Amino acid sequence: MSTKMKAVVAYGKNNYGMEEREIPALKDGEMLIKIEACGICAGDVKAREGVSRFWGGDGMPAYCEPPFTPGHEFFGHVVAIQGEVPGNFKVGDRVISEQIVPCGTCWYCKRGLYSLCDLHNVYGFKNFLNGGMAEYAVLPKGSINYHVPESLTTEEAALIEPFSCSLRGVRQAQITPEDTVVIAGAGTLGLGMVQAIRAFYPCKKLIVLDLIDKRLELARKYGADVVLNPKTTDALQAVKDLTDGVGCDIYIEVSGHPSAVQQGLDMIRKAGTFVEFSVMSGPSTIDWSIIGDAKEITIRGSQLSPDCYPTVIQGFLDKVYHAEGVVSHRFKLEDWDEAFTAAHGRDAVKVILVP
Ligand SMILES: [Zn+2]
Ligand SMILES: [Zn+2]
């Protein structure tokens, strides 16, 4: 095995490049994997563009600690193990790691709320926790790893991370069979929510909104009852018409557009539930009194995907989850720059990099 590998390296906002780096040496309790593929997350694109949520500013501390290799949606095969690792892994196994590596000792970790870990170390944003846009990656001590069946395609396995996040969002919504649910945003995560609702959480009516018709077609294919493009349809009126003027029971915001927050608050019925999921590119300004005095809305957040990976892996095995059309582009690792551009574009849903 050569001792060098190709890796995308981020030095700062808009300062990314590809380099030859040493294949990392393992410490006790670590696994080295050869990457099979790594998806590009909207968060990776936003980090490269330099939004304050990642690099600080606008009253926010910096999250990124360069230089680092981006990518938290990766998986591969174990090529080396140092010492003991939990989970019965051996060289040759196909493996995926949850995107967060919990510290195990903070207030949240001690209570089992590991996805809210105070240190919040996610692969691909910090120099001590490199991600999967490389030929190899280290799964450190404390990482949460799962076996990936060989029968899953590369595209399916690449969706385990995002669809796990989708599943978390859907669980937070606490859907009942009586509910009319609106999902705002039919990117990878919204499409994962559509598939999760169809597989596990039947509802009365599932409505999906997006500004891109191609995504709406995918939403319909995977189980949306009604799809609406707010560019060409009065979506608020349409949802009112579909609910006898009452409004939807549940609104899940996964578009990343600050305007989708107001849209949801208008669309939702009194005592309905609003699930906020997106990483917004900027603040959203609303009249907060609509939450209490006007509608008595329940607001629930959703972050990462605690206890969701096994369900999604099984879902792909059981063919209740589908990757077709959701993974829209596949690039070679060397073409990472082009891949980031594609991920930003309107034609793409999920873009993956394959070393
Ligand atoms: Zn992601
Ligand atoms: Zn912690």
Per-residue pLDDT of the chain (355 residues), as tens digits, is: 689 999 999 999 999 999 999 999 999 999 999 999 999 999 999 999 998 889 998 888 999 999 999 999 999 999 999 999 999 999 999 999 999 999 999 999 999 999 999 999 999 999 999 999 999 999 999 999 999 999 999 999 999 999 999 999 999 999 999 999 999 999 999 999 999 999 999 999 999 999 999 999 999 999 999 999 999 999 999 999 999 999 999 999 999 888 899 999 999 999 999 999 988 877 889 999 999 999 999 999 999 999 999 999 999 999 999 999 999 999 999 999 999 999 998 889 999 999 9
- Residue 134 DSSP label: B
Strand 327-332 relative to strand 350-354, pairing: parallel
Which ligand has its closest atom nearest to the C-alpha of 165? 1
231 token code pair: 């560019």
- 34 Cα: distance to centroid of ligand 1 (angstroms): 20
The Cα diameter of the chain in Å comes to: 66
- Domain 165-301, CATH number (from 2.170.150.70, 3.40.50.720, 2.60.40.1080, 3.60.60.10): 3.40.50.720
* Angle at the Cα of 313 from the Cα atoms of 175 and 5, rounded to 5 degrees: 130
- 84 Cα: distance to centroid of ligand 2 (angstroms): 22
Which ligand has its closest atom nearest to the C-alpha of 303? 1
93 token code pair: 């196994």
pLDDT value for 1: 62
Which ligand has its closest atom nearest to the C-alpha of 106? 2
- 101 Cα: distance to centroid of ligand 2 (angstroms): 9
- 90 Cα: distance to centroid of ligand 1 (angstroms): 27
- Cis before 67? omega within 30: yes
Which ligand has its closest atom nearest to the C-alpha of 105? 2
**What would be the CATH architecture of the domain defined by 4-159+323-354?**
Alpha-Beta Complex (3.90)
- 146 Cα: distance to centroid of ligand 2 (angstroms): 20
Q: Which residues pair with 96 in a beta bridge?
A: 75, 146
Ramachandran sector of residue 140 (left: φ over 0; alpha: ψ -120 to 50; beta: rest): beta
- 116 Cα: distance to centroid of ligand 2 (angstroms): 7
**What does the alpha-carbon distance between residue 96 and residue 76 come to, in Å, rounded to a whole number?**
7
pLDDT value for 51: 86
- 100 Cα: distance to centroid of ligand 1 (angstroms): 11
- Residue 27 DSSP label: P
Using a CB cutoff of 8 Å and minimum separation of 24, what contacts does 49-53 make? 49/13, 49/14, 50/13, 50/14, 51/281, 53/279
Which ligand has its closest atom nearest to the C-alpha of 110? 2
- 43 Cα: distance to centroid of ligand 1 (angstroms): 6
293-303 as b/e: b if 16+ CB within 10 A:
eebebeebebb
Q: Which residues pair with 350 in a beta bridge?
A: 327
The domain segmentation of the chain, as residue ranges, is: 4-159+323-354, 165-301
